[in-house]
Amino acid sequence: MNLHFLRFFCVAIICCVLAACSPKPEFKNIDITGSTSFGKDFSLLDPDGNVRTLADFKGKVVVMFFGYTQCPDVCPTTLTEMQQVMTLLGPQSDKVQVLFVTVDPERDTAAILKQYVPSFDPRFLGLRPADDAALEKVTKDFKIYYKKVPGSTPGSYTMDHTAGSYAFDPEGRLRLYIKHAQGPETLAHDLKELLK
């Protein structure tokens, strides 16, 4: 047997054994690992007016949710669930960053986001687009649906919007689409997988 072929064969066997020792994570949410057509990055303002991008959170699992502060149900439910997830993660929660991106920058001023979002957990961060064009861009980039629904007065409108969230791994790669309201245990499981 050719010595070169024997070396190649041994290396191939070792690679197969190592791959078997590193099983693919078993997520309970929708695994979108490898998606390259959307959700690559963002450029949004934090409540202090600083431009934030995904690179600012490298080394952490990032959970990104789109909503608005006057949302009557989905948004507070999601933020409360994430608060419970952080409790379940214990010390690992310091390696998770929750981002709440408003689809209603007309009412969700920097001051309101600064007060509302951290009221669920001081580590949570509210982000807003700089203008309508930035809102269009980030929602298109992340395939987020949103629509203003008129109310009885001009300021009493509501916003229909996508209820799911996204999760990025510590390297900044988009990995999961998180379904709404599955319970904190399910989400904590998946975030632990991303933190491995």
Domain positions in the chain: 37-195
The verdict on whether residue 71 carries a ligand-binding annotation is yes
Name the fold adopted by 37-195: Glutaredoxin (3.40.30)
Q: 54 with 90: CB under 8 angstroms?
A: no
Q: pLDDT per residue over 29-48, tens digit each?
A: 999 999 888 899 999 999 99
Q: 104 with 75: CB under 8 angstroms?
A: no
The verdict on whether residue 180 carries a ligand-binding annotation is no
**Residue 9 pLDDT exceeds 60:** no
Q: Cα separation of 81 and 86, whole Å?
A: 9
**Residue 173 pLDDT exceeds 60:** yes
The verdict on whether residue 16 carries a ligand-binding annotation is no
Q: pLDDT per residue over 57-108, tens digit each?
A: 999 999 999 999 999 999 999 999 999 999 999 999 999 999 999 999 999 9
Lowest mean pLDDT among 1-5, 26-30, 76-80: 1-5
Q: Which residues of 53-78 are buried (b: 16+ CB within 10 A; e: fewer)?
A: ebeebeebbbbbbbbbbbbeebbeeb
* SS3 of residue 53 by DSSP: coil
Helix H segments across the chain? 3-21, 74-89, 110-116, 132-141, 184-195
Question: What per-residue confidence (pLDDT) applies to 15?
Answer: 43
Among candidate residues 151, 179, 82, the one with its CA nearest the CA of residue 123: 82
